[in-house]
A and B are shown apart, each in its own frame.
Chain A
């Protein structure tokens, strides 16, 4: 059994490496690895049913972030995001601290709703970046701030894909994560914002406003606010009167909120085009979720998943505490969301066994993972950041290096959450 599972792991690693060397994308390289492992496991046959069945593993999650991203894109296209950024700058340009604080909150919203840091970069990243530049913050620091806030927005509740995937894999309710995730992601994003952007010149209001795109004239707080109010109302209604209204599900709620956004938009929105663009920009994300599902199914089939789980749960706890802050981001950079079910599930098991608070521990891990989105080979959010901001500096020596101190801070507090999970269990609630 050890030999067989080890062999399959080797096949996965080697075929993934070869595929990458041949310049295939991460998604296709994973697919190649999964198919190769499946064929070796089945002694030459192709277990077609397993390959297809695996593609269903994260279908629900895909639906959530497709509809959520569509919603955020509508808000952006209607001029809502530009309106919000301008309002924050106009209202708080005299107080740097308040300005930075509200810009941080704004950065957290898209990723919190969609679970994807790339969405944050694509919807609000550029505009906030422009403002930060006018606050006298250097280019590399702006890029680092946008990346870390985007990563923290992905970690922020209500939608944290790593926690959702790991919880689903261990039959654990995705309930009670709101406060711990909020505390960690707020602390991390605010630290990055103030550490990197705390000092600088005063905002030149007129100059900054000139640079920011002007929202349509009729845009106002009601028009931009109501879609969010509707969304929050639907989510709350499902919790307050769950048995007198039909089950809607998050994707449907986002669709309803989107309909409000369309009708309240001051300018006519090309819905079909926005929807197509949404799915286009999400292809890497949806693609990777589907391929990860396939890979996980083949690893479960062949015992490779079991071997990894076994290796993880038999490690001494102090090793985990000392190493997880490094292992989690690096594995995220390598495998993206695949790491949540692969490493997260056995770790939760182990934490439960050792009497730790699994919700706090998983929250801590679910905040460490997104840090890896700046690391190669995938570097999904990092790449999106430098692309969207048209960053001219060097990726590693400027961008990554500037991000290291805030990243270290976040990994440190998350590790503390892991070690003191029981002491912090009071944070767990609805």
Chain B
């Protein structure tokens, strides 16, 4: 059971990491400056969660 919990927990970090990756890629690619600002702000919670700071 404990191992299963760990696996599921790791999955969640992977999901978050994937979303972070896609947002970051969008940030690089976008041609719209408003989107660029929004993307960089959107990264905040995802990055801090991956780093296990919050």
Contacts and interface: CB of A to CB of B under 8 A. Distances in A.
Nearest to B1: A246
A56 B45 contact: yes
Interface string B1-12: 100110010011
A66 B34 contact: no
B11 A275 contact: no
Contacts of B26: 279-280, 283
A248 B37 contact: no
Interface in B1-51: 1, 4-5, 8, 11-12, 15-16, 18-19, 22-23, 25-26, 34-35, 37-39, 41-42, 44-45, 48-49
Interface in A257-300: 275-276, 279-280, 283, 286-287, 290-291, 294
Q: How large is the interface on B (under 10, 10 to 19, 20 to 34, 35 or more residues)?
A: 20 to 34
A304 interface: no
A252 B9 CA distance: 10
Contacts of A280: 22, 26
Nearest to A57: B45
Interface residues of A, number: 30
A249 B42 contact: no
Interface stretch (A24-32, A168-176, A345-353): A24-32
Interface string A236-263: 0000000000111101100100000000
Contact of B15 (A27, A31, A56, A63): A63
Interface on chain B toward A: helix, strand, loop, or mixed SS? helix
B54 interface: yes
A28 B42 contact: no
Contacts, number: 75
Interface in A66-122: 66-67
A249 B4 CA distance: 13
A423 interface: no
Given A25-B38, A28-B34, A287-B38, A246 B5 contact: yes
Contacts of A31: 37-38, 41
Contacts of A25: 34, 38
B25 A276 contact: yes
Contacts of A130: none
A52 B44 contact: yes
A66 B37 CA distance: 20
Contacts of A251: 12, 15
A286 B46 CA distance: 12
A276 B25 CA distance: 9
Interface string A1-27: 000000000000000000000001101
Contacts of B5: 246-247
Contact of A53 (B4, B25, B38, B54): B54
Given A24-B34, A56-B54, A287-B38, A275 B44 contact: no
A55 interface: yes
A59 interface: yes
Interface centre among B8, B19, B25, B35 (most CB of A within 10 A): B19
Nearest to B32: A25
Given A246-B5, A287-B42, A275 B18 contact: yes
Given A246-B5, A246-B8, A290 B35 contact: no
Contacts of B18: 275
B8 A255 contact: no
A27 B8 contact: no
A115 B44 CA distance: 23
B38 A27 contact: yes
B11 A247 contact: no
Contacts of A249: 8, 12
A137 B48 CA distance: 50
B5 to A, nearest CB: 5
Interface string A191-211: 000000000000000000000
Interface of B: 1, 4-5, 8, 11-12, 15-16, 18-19, 22-23, 25-26, 34-35, 37-39, 41-42, 44-45, 48-49, 54
21 contacts: A24-B34, A31-B41, A56-B54, A63-B12, A63-B15, A63-B16, A66-B19, A67-B15, A246-B5, A247-B8, A252-B12, A279-B22, A279-B26, A280-B22, A283-B26, A283-B42, A287-B38, A287-B39, A287-B41, A287-B42, A294-B41
Give the 4 A-B CB pairs with smallest separation, nearest first.
A246-B4, A279-B22, A55-B45, A55-B44
